[in-house]
Structure 1
Amino acid sequence: MAQMVIVVQAVSATSFTVYSNLATIRILSRGKCGLSRCVTRYLVAMAVVDLLIIIFDLILRRIPIIYQMRFFRELPVCNIHAVLLHAVTDCSVWFTVMFTFDRFVAISCRILKHKYCIERTAKIVLGAVTVLCSLKNIFWYFMYARLYIWTVTEFLHYILTPCVPFVFILMLNALTIRHILVASQARGRLRAQNCPRDPEIQNRRKSVLLLFFISGNFILLWAVITVYSIWSRMWSMGYFTFHLPTFVAGLGFMFQMLSCCTNTCIYAITQTRFRKQLMSVLKYPFSLLVGLNKHRNKIRCDSIIEPH
């Protein structure tokens, strides 16, 4: 009974996560949220890879029956699954880094902004990151074939993702905050006393709010699984005398999966237009059911009053 409850909860959480990411992709792709095309490209890409993580990590890993099929038994499914899962996970992490860098350039580098912060550059950056992440994680295929040493290689993997991105995000956010503070003080001295509200400052605050929410959410929710993974590898190599409790790994995994659906909430909090579009998407299934029910009742009434 307890296992059944856990399965039902997992299915419910997965369904909510998949629906939220699909809704986010749909809303952002329409381009009616008041965001630039460059920003929209990054946000859509992040939502897509988050959805793929849910598919590869929660759905495919929890449905082992497909691996019992004869077609799959003749393929190294675990090896292929590991490559795809780690590739999309790396993409999710580095897309966040690239988005942070894009916003840093847009806010802090006025000259470079018009050349870098455009849709074409975003496509090139996202494509390049996808290719590099895919090539980097091919070693997982051979890892499961026992051609490499597990502990050292996996330890280096967690150093590159997400420890290095943590450093980049914190550094870029610090530089962005410093630039905003300096620029705000300068504009404040130049503005007249009778014009307290500066539209430029307001736009910057909204952009920075979205940036900090996304990057901060990423760091907080990835911190537990990162610490546990590195600690476990160090312990297996004999550097630590005690191992962290197993429940820490489960907690870290839960937080990591939670990061795949929290961006929808972040957009809803920070973007008014996105919030309106999201409400429309959430109401659509219920509106469809109400419409179908009204149509069915109308047909029933017509059949009753129609003379025989």
Structure 2
Amino acid sequence: MTIVILVRGKCGLSKCITVYMLAMAIADLLVIIINVLVYSILTYHFPLSLLSHTHICKFIFYLGCVILNLSVWFTVAFTFDRFVIICCPKFKTMYCTVRIPVTIISVICVLMWIKEFPIFFAYEHEYIVNNVKWNCQSSVEFFSSVAGVVYIWFFSICLVWLPFILIAFFNALTVRHVLVTSKARRALRAHTTDNHYDPEMKNRVKSIVFLFAISGSFILLWLTTVINLVMTRITNPNYYRGDFGNPIYIIVETGAMLRYLSSCSNTCIYAVTQRKFREELLDILKSPCAFIAKRLNMRQDD
């Protein structure tokens, strides 16, 4: 429904921000489908299905990593877009066009598809039955090599560390800019008679709330994963294997649950912060009831 509402373009948002929000909504939906439904549920509860063939299993891993990266980096792109709109008015007119976000999103997609290609070499079959390779497990040869170690660190930096730092950095710059300009505008309007209502500041406050709701949700829900990476890089890589009661195991799995949950939170944020989005959502929810009521009235008239 979020994708349908954004495509209709009746939320009062600019085309630039609509493109980013649409990309984020599609990526988040794919995370739920591929990472949660297919990988975490279907492959776990149906271990001898077609999904457990090694080649298909590798592709699911690959697709899941790509989509998760897209969801993360679309959030970074959205945060940067809000930073430019709020803090860089001279650059705003050139940057805020439909062509720019489409180009940025396309480049991110291509880079993520290329970046995750080593996944196909990082996993191997677990066992063979009737000359058919089943399941996937980490390739000891790959992860013990220099290329494997480099890939692990590169994967961690690109998926967690760099996005986390960039989002926090752009938010800090945005807050600093808004505080400085707000102080200056209050001082300027103090000398005027109409100093009670400032539509410009009201719009900036709305943008700040929306920005912090999206990026703040991302930071909070990915914080456990960041802590987990610190702990597992310091301790033994086989920190919890075979011990489901290990606290580190609980942190790892909780982090996975929260980062997947971050793909569900954006829709709730849209509904809470955007009045026109709520109105469009209610219209879509009411439309089946209105259609049924109309059909019943037509039958009664007949």
Same fold (TM over 0.5): yes
Structure 1: gaps spanning 5 or more residues: 1-22, 303-308
Per-residue deviation, 1:116: 1.0
Q: Kindly provide the amino acid, as one letter, of the partner of residue 282 in structure 1.
A: L
8 Å contact 1:103–1:211 — kept in the other structure? yes
Judging by fraction of residues, say which structure has more strand.
2
Matches within 5 A, 1:69-80: 69=50, 76-80=55-59
- Decide whether the 8 Å contact of 1:67 with 1:77 is kept in 2: no
Corresponding residue for residue 106 of structure 2: 127
Assess if the C-alpha contact under 8 Å between 1:79 and 1:141 holds in 2.
yes
Q: Which is worse superposed, 30-39 or 178-187?
A: 178-187
Deviation at 1:218, TM superposition (A): 0.4
2:26 equivalent among 21, 39, 48: 48
- Amino acid in structure 2 at the alignment position of 1:186: A
Q: CA deviation at 1:87?
A: 0.7
Matching residue of 1:157: 155
Q: How does 1:8-23 map to 2 (within 5 A)?
A: 23=1
**Alpha-carbon spacing, 1:286–1:236, altered in 2? closer, same or farther (3 Å):** farther
**Cα distance change, pair 251–108 in 1 and its aligned pair in 2 (3 A):** same
Deviations 1:12-69 (A, max 9, x none): xxxxxxxxxxx11111111111110000000000000000111111221222349634
Higher helix fraction (1 or 2): 1
Aligned length: 274
Supply the distance in 1 between the matched residues of 2:65 and 2:230 (Cα, whole angstroms).
16
Aligned twin of 1:197: 197
- Cross-structure match for 1:305: none
Please state if 1:264 is matched with 2:267.
yes
Match of 1:83 among 30, 52, 62: 62
Give 1:287 deviation, angstroms. Answer: 4.1
Aligned twin of 1:187: 185
One-letter code aligned to 1:180 = V
Q: Which residue of 2 aligns with 1:29?
A: 7
Partner of 1:20: none
Q: What percentage of residue pairs aligned between the two structures are identical?
A: 39
Letter in 1 for 2:257: M
> What TM-score do you get using the length of structure 2 for normalisation?
0.82
What is the CA-CA distance between 1:80 and the residue it aligns to? 1.0
Deviations 1:111-165 (A, max 9, x none): 1111112111000000001111111111111111436216733344122211111
Amino acid at match of 1:255: L
Matched residues in 1 for 2:93 and 2:167: separation? 22
Shift of 1:209: 0.9
How far, CA to CA, are the matches of 1:67 and 1:44 in structure 2? 36
Please report how far the alpha carbon of residue 289 of structure 1 lies from its aligned counterpart in structure 2 after TM superposition.
5.0
Q: Which amino acid in structure 1 is aligned with residue 32 of structure 2?
A: I
Corresponding residue for 1:227? 227
DSSP 3-state at the match of 2:155: helix
Report if aligned partners of 1:86, 1:137 keep a CA contact under 8 Å in 2. yes
C-alpha contact 1:232 1:244 (8 A) present in aligned 2: no
CA RMSD of aligned residues (A): 2.7
Q: Aligned pair 1:68/2:71, yes or no?
A: no
Specify the alignment match of 1:167 in structure 2. 165
Partner secondary structure for residue 260 of structure 1: helix
Structure 1 partner of 2:254: 251
List 4+ stretches of structure 1 deviating above 6 A: 72-75
Match of 1:298 in 2: 299
- Indicate the residue corresponding to 1:58 in structure 2: 36
* Residues 79-102 of structure 1: per-residue CA shift (max 9 Å, x gap): 111111111111111111111111
Gaps of 5+ in 2: 125-138, 240-245
Q: What code does the residue aligned with 2:74 have?
A: F
Q: In the alignment, which residue of structure 1 is the partner of 2:175? A: 177
Contact 1:155 1:230 in 2 (8 A): no
